[in-house]
Structure 1
């Protein structure tokens, strides 16, 4: 719990601010919807889903955000252009201000989504996820031709998961890329680069992923975070240990503290947002993150910083 000498950028997307000194703003929480095998989706290719269930999940995150003061963002994942367009249509109908990530395992789907949000006039609420080492010319052109100005820039280096390798992929380039991802983002018209540290599994780079939070804030001054819950979900020991318990409830009781805890460690180090995984975990994640935000807020005041969000948990939960 500290303050950085480097000037810290703050980027506003929709109604949410990313960045700043630790404690100045509450941590942004990003829940995922329409992910692979999400039970509310009945046809991943056509984008057919249970609207009532989706509505409830989104109203739940709105309610919890109102309780804790933590801002929230929707990570919309689609398997096809048809599907992701339907999900976006649903979201902008139910919420007219909150930002959302456009995401897919396929670059062609992400590119189609970038074109679509521009076409329907909501590109300034969209965050492209992501600009990374596997991006190709077609995807770059799609982003550049869109009105999107915010993107997740992924610090994943396929050949070097160390802190040095992660910084190199951002600033210099790496396998298959002769430019750093920040330069690629700039050439795409991205003026709000939001760094994802590319959290790695335990034993394969989880530690450097934590160090990367401090390095990005201290060296680049850019907003930073990541999908830290992946550290727990990829933990081989935990996968085996859970199987020794009989019921789903017992397995969850063993697993979820680790899942939630992976978000709290980088948060204490100064990260600005966390992708906490399935939106169903909202009620478990928000209070824990808000608790750490209270500590960060107290520390910020001691260090002479101003808490800049009137909805910060420090004003709501003490």
Structure 2
């Protein structure tokens, strides 16, 4: 698969993301400090097991080095106090970009302000600008000087693939998420096509194709959490959850996704090998057909074979 429209490539800190399928390795993003993460003993104060957290981040980085798939860290927090502690810790362990993630907008903005104050803004990605965006949120994003953000394409008014396009574009009655992001000064827009459950992975994958064709923006999503919430998967066998997790991620990549938020960071051992193999097959085929030029020597095709 290739897209007729120009495909944008952004560089966030040391990571390039976007382009035609096969040009660049898929960027893989593991989540840490999320709700119910056992390494966190106090989510309100941001108290956690630093040794285990460092081991998880280092393991993701090791898998990235082995495969050539760039990595980012999705930092999830419940409070402003916690997000600042988490950002300080993660930025000291790895040079990779990180997502500032929370269900609460004020927590995300606190994290973004902290990143600006500590000189980390180039590495920070706001996760995310959503259907519930407000003018105040956009003003605060602009005031912090935010450069990168995820646009969450979940449209409750239309959950079909076209609904993601409508939400991003907007209409005469309401601005789209892209316009909101532009007003906030966001230069690097990453679109999340919103996986809700396992059956909706197909809808999110189809939306990837539409978004990339329409806007040329780096696109992806988080399919693995849906598999982790799938209770009956264990009835299919003791390894079914791991196998289906890898399949869910690669389904998005075959649709053209440039990045994948793969859920809990401990899944790096499962996700990176599967993605590296798929990336290699896509890049090899496209380059042999002279459809693309692979943009980096640090590519799974050259690293794992």
- With structure 1 as the length reference, what TM-score do the two structures score? 0.92
Counterpart secondary structure, 1:130: strand
What is the CA–CA distance in structure 2 between the aligned matches of 1:40 and 1:307, rounded to whole Å?
39
2:255 is the alignment partner of 1:259: no
Matched pairs, number: 304
Counterpart of 2:294 in structure 1 is: 307
2:2 paired with 1:7: no
1:240 to 219, 232, 246: 232
SS at match of 1:24: coil
Structure 1 residue runs of 4+, over 6 Å off? Answer: none
Contact 2:169 2:177 in 1 (8 A): yes
Alignment of 1:90 with 2:89, yes or no, is: yes
Is residue 268 from structure 1 mapped to residue 233 from structure 2 by the alignment?
A: no
Take 1:277 and 1:207, find their aligned partners in 2: how far apart are those partners? 18
CA RMSD of aligned residues (A): 1.6
Q: Does 1:186 align with 2:185?
A: no
Q: 1:293 aligns with which of 271, 276, 279?
A: 279
Distance in 1, matches of 2:166 and 2:158, equals 9
What's the counterpart of residue 98 of structure 2?
Answer: 100
Aligned to 2:64: 65
Distance 1:91 1:255 in 2: 28
Question: How far, CA to CA, are the matches of 2:190 and 2:88 in structure 1?
Answer: 24
Following superposition, the deviation at residue 188 of structure 1 comes to 0.5
Residue 21, structure 1, aligned to residue 20, structure 2: yes
Question: TM-score scaled by structure 2?
Answer: 0.95
Asked if structure 2 preserves the Cα contact closer than 8 Å seen for 1:107 and 1:135, the reply is no
Aligned partner of 2:226 in structure 1 is: 231
Q: For 1:162-197, what per-residue CA distance to the aligned partner results, in whole angstroms no more than 9, with x for missing partners?
A: 0121110010169xx811000000000001111100
* Equivalent position SS for 2:297: coil
Gaps of 5+ in 2: none
Measure the CA separation in 2 of the matches of 1:273 and 1:173: 28
Aligned pair in 2 of structure 1 residues 86, 173: CA closer, same or farther (>3 Å)?
A: farther
